[in-house]
Amino acid sequence: MTNLQNAAEEEQLAHFMQRIERGDKIEADDWMPEEYRLTLIRLISMHGISEIMGALPEKEWVPKAPSLNRKLGIMAKVQDEMGHGQLLLRVTEDLLVPYGKNRGDIMQDLFNGDLKFHNVFHMETKTWADAGIIGWLVDGAAIITQTNMLGASYGPYARALQRICAEEVFHAQHGESIIMALAEGTDEQKAMIQESLNRWWEALLMFFGPASKETTGSSKQDLTIKYKIRTKTNEEFRQLFFDKYIPRILSLGLTIPDPTIRFDEESKLWSYKQPDWNEFKKIIKNGGPRSHARLNLRRSSYENNAWVRDALSVKVT
Interactions with ligand FAQ, residue window 237-276 (CB under 6 A): 237
Q: Specify burial of residue 301 (Cβ count, 10 A radius: 0-12, 13-18, 19+).
A: exposed
Query: Is position 208 an interface residue for ligand FAQ (rule: CB under 6 A)?
Result: yes
Query: Is position 103 an interface residue for ligand FAQ (rule: CB under 6 A)?
Result: no
Do the beta carbons of residue 31 and residue 12 sit within 8 Å?
A: yes
Do the beta carbons of residue 254 and residue 194 sit within 8 Å?
A: yes
Measured CA to CA, the distance from residue 57 to residue 232 in angstroms comes to 28
Query: CB of residue 267 vs ligand FAQ: minimum separation in angstroms?
Result: 22
Q: Looking at beta carbons only, is 112 or 313 nearer to ligand FAQ? A: 112
Interactions with ligand FAQ, residue window 272-311 (CB under 6 A): 284
Interactions with ligand FAQ, residue window 12-71 (CB under 6 A): 42-43, 46-47, 50-51, 54-55
Interactions with ligand FAQ, residue window 176-205 (CB under 6 A): none
Query: CB of residue 159 vs ligand FAQ: minimum separation in angstroms?
Result: 15
Contacting ligand FAQ (CB under 6 A), which of 26, 131, 197, 206?
206
Query: Is position 86 an interface residue for ligand FAQ (rule: CB under 6 A)?
Result: no
Closest CA to 206 of 288, 135, 279, 291: 279
Contacting ligand FAQ (CB under 6 A), which of 127, 146, 196, 291?
146
Q: Looking at beta carbons only, is 135 or 192 nearer to ligand FAQ? A: 135
Do the beta carbons of residue 114 and residue 214 sit within 8 Å?
A: no
Q: Looking at beta carbons only, is 93 or 288 nearer to ligand FAQ? A: 288
Q: Looking at beta carbons only, is 3 or 218 nearer to ligand FAQ? A: 218
Do the beta carbons of residue 122 and residue 199 sit within 8 Å?
A: no
Do the beta carbons of residue 125 and residue 135 sit within 8 Å?
A: no
Query: CB of residue 62 vs ligand FAQ: minimum separation in angstroms?
Result: 13
Backbone angles phi, psi at 8, to 5 degrees: -65, -40
Measured CA to CA, the distance from residue 215 to residue 96 in angstroms comes to 29
Return the half-sphere exposure (C-beta side, CA atoms, 13 A cut-off) of residue 200: 26
Percentages (nearest 5) of helix, strand, coil residues in the chain: 70, 5, 30
Would you tell me which residues interact with ligand FAQ (CB under 6 A)?
42-43, 46-47, 50-51, 54-55, 81, 116, 118-119, 134, 138-139, 142, 145-146, 206-210, 216, 218-221, 224, 234, 237, 284
